Chains A and B, each alone.
Chain A
């Protein structure tokens, strides 16, 4: 296969009209490529910039910088380019681009200039740039047609063709010429809506129903051996002494934070790793007190009410002294909400395949964090960036865990040590016990209602361990962590006087980004508190929110839509049922959710229905959006009902789904999703469905039982078995 990359397209600027300015930089060199694990019948292909390649079968391949981890981003992005090129859906292909950390990396998300997938930012960052890339390609193909056969008006015809009425070319006949042309200085975006806004079938689904989809764990490299790891049972422990060999193992490798076992198959490697644990001497962290759930919670409780600690204040509005505001309040709420550490529990355990030689390194990984891969590998191998190739496979869920580099570093270290290709696969217990956990959080909300039942003041204090501080432990560095208050600052509610505080909890349990990050805990506190205030005011929680959101048309739009969808104001719930509501403005979108619950024979919550209205701006693929909202709701339900990790002196209490319960089909509510029509810029969807679930559940539970749940999960210590 011959790839001809003559330029990379780097696009700057934001379009407000259809004529889009952009800049093209000719860089050459690096190839986005098809990977060793992808085959195609095409023999020749030519690239038009960094994103689009057209082969001799007239298939159009889009290279994307975002990772496909279930959210349907391959499909959504392909729709943007298909729109601009009037393609036929069956000729569209999508591949992950290779990883790069270069400053000129065309696959870095234009929102923040890094090649990572997270924060529900893919469509927000790439909507215009990919449409522009498609439009540029269109213009160049049409120019090529006019160069080959001058005259007439060349326009696109469906199926990847250009026509002037008398002559028609396939794109494949034009692309070689097009690639030699100077890209246009401005382009018009298509106005056809053949693909954007349509429920296009996902490009990745056929391979996901016949076993041919290649996840990281499925990668095969000739001569490959298989690896497993065993970490110190106590978080933070490092290898002090280890055996040099083990029966059945090809090699044991000191990975610093773990021992790697290399064997002829994964089963043997995992077995040897688990048996090895007793013969490794671990160097324990100096103190385990800050790694104990009871002491972490005690610290949080004291910081919540401390008047001596200086909180970081991330937002203030109105009066700086809320004392008088509260003194004159008719009613006051002073409530503390407590949320646990959570695990990711991706269906696909952490894994990575690596080949390391003296001159180069090739890696296949299910990664959300391409930006960090090359530097990670350079540190281990000493190779220049140009000698390192990192392929992104499908991810069997990412949920934020797969932005981390620990498992990639381990695989590369093992491959380097044994001089053979190694596929490292973590066992499920290793995956749960060595997660980067969602921070626990304790949140105190003090709020007052005035005589008109308006929220006259709010003091919000979040005490939680800081992801940012933990990752920037350089002496003297005292980083901010705005993510810790995401979902608490910038609330669209009319609250004249407010102060949003953050106090880092010094606990040093390893932390990570977990689907919906800060909103996953702050929205629970905010939306529970707003409901509590509505009840104190004697108001209907939905009407109360509408008053607080007066004038905010997008917020009111989703509240009204969910009101209609759920029958909130028009139908009564069946006997024994109650509804609860929550709302979020976040990730560039607006969402409102109503859950309807009853109690089962064990007096535990049965979630019967969930109604959700979302305004995520332009809805690129409504079917994918519905799927993502369903997904977020299930993730939110599993976590709110059962999700919890506790630590005893640094040892996590979970090791499998048996003690980290998740929702099953038999427990699935009926979910209805309404996408509110919007022409606003695309907003995030992947995380947006998660945060409202827990507060809506708590609000419904309070309605049903008159009992307010302020501590998650609802049912700690839940287990699940094999039926």
Chain B
């Protein structure tokens, strides 16, 4: 059932018409709002490519009903550049030349920033990072995280 919801995405509150309040946030971001930085990977919350921040906490948006995001602050990879922790993580990723194909990296970065916002640093961030990278950038991901 089509509904209109108010979403706060990357600091902008906007009215969004969605076909169903149970539509995953991932596809609302990608197909309706055009924010394609957040990626579809597995659709079952395993790979983490779809990670976004909901009120500062990393969540997998492929199985997060858009209706549940109403009233919360959603930050996507596109919004990380305006976030202090996001900027630090991005700078570390560039300094360590982390990405290869780059497809999983928005999720990696968002999950990392979520851990930073939970007060974690270095090894404690890495130990909780379960995102999949088929390119195998893990060694550089780990190195980048050690500086955070």
Q: Which residues of chain A have a CB within 8 Å of any CB of chain B? A: 69-72, 201-202, 204-215, 217-218, 220, 226, 248, 264-268, 270, 345-349, 394-399, 425, 427-428, 623, 627-628, 630-635, 638, 656-658, 662-666, 668, 670-671, 720-723
Contacts and interface: CB of A to CB of B under 8 A. Distances in A.
Given A212-B37, A428-B41, 20 more contacts: A70-B101, A201-B97, A209-B94, A209-B109, A210-B81, A220-B34, A265-B19, A265-B23, A265-B32, A347-B103, A347-B104, A349-B40, A396-B102, A425-B40, A634-B133, A657-B47, A657-B132, A663-B136, A665-B130, A722-B45
Contact of A215 (B103, B127, B139): B103
B64 interface: no
Contacts of A631: 100, 135-137
- Interface majority SS (helix, strand, loop, mixed), chain A: loop
A345 B134 contact: yes
Contact of A428 (B43, B78, B94): B43
A348 B76 contact: no
A656 B42 contact: yes
Contacts of A623: 97
A12 B106 CA distance: 42
Interface in B92-148: 93-94, 97-106, 109, 126-127, 129-142
B90 A662 contact: no
A210 B35 CA distance: 11
B102 A213 contact: yes
Closest 10 CB pairs of A and B: A211-B37, A634-B136, A396-B103, A70-B101, A208-B102, A70-B100, A211-B77, A218-B36, A267-B27, A265-B31
B136 A635 contact: yes
A394 B101 CA distance: 8
A635 B43 contact: no
Looking at chain B's contact residues, the main secondary structure is loop
Report which residue of B35, B100, B101 has the largest number of chain A beta carbons within 10 angstroms of its beta carbon. B101
Contacts of B138: 634, 663-665, 668
Nearest to B92: A209
Contacts of A218: 30, 36-37
B48 to A, nearest CB: 9
A210 B134 contact: no
Given A347-B103, A635-B136, A663-B138, A657 B42 contact: yes
B131 to A, nearest CB: 7
B19 A264 contact: yes
A630 B139 contact: yes
Interface in B18-56: 19, 23-24, 26-27, 30-32, 34-47, 49
A209 B101 CA distance: 11
18 contacts: A206-B94, A207-B102, A215-B103, A220-B36, A264-B19, A265-B32, A266-B30, A270-B43, A347-B41, A347-B49, A396-B103, A656-B44, A657-B42, A665-B133, A666-B130, A721-B46, A722-B45, A722-B60
Given A211-B76, A347-B104, A656 B46 contact: yes
Contacts of B74: none
B80 interface: yes
B57 to A, nearest CB: 15
B132 to A, nearest CB: 6
Most buried by A among B23, B77, B103: B103
A669 to B, nearest CB: 9
A202 B93 CA distance: 12
Contact of A665 (B38, B109, B141): B141
Contact of A668 (B24, B31, B40, B139): B139
Contacts of B137: 627, 630-631
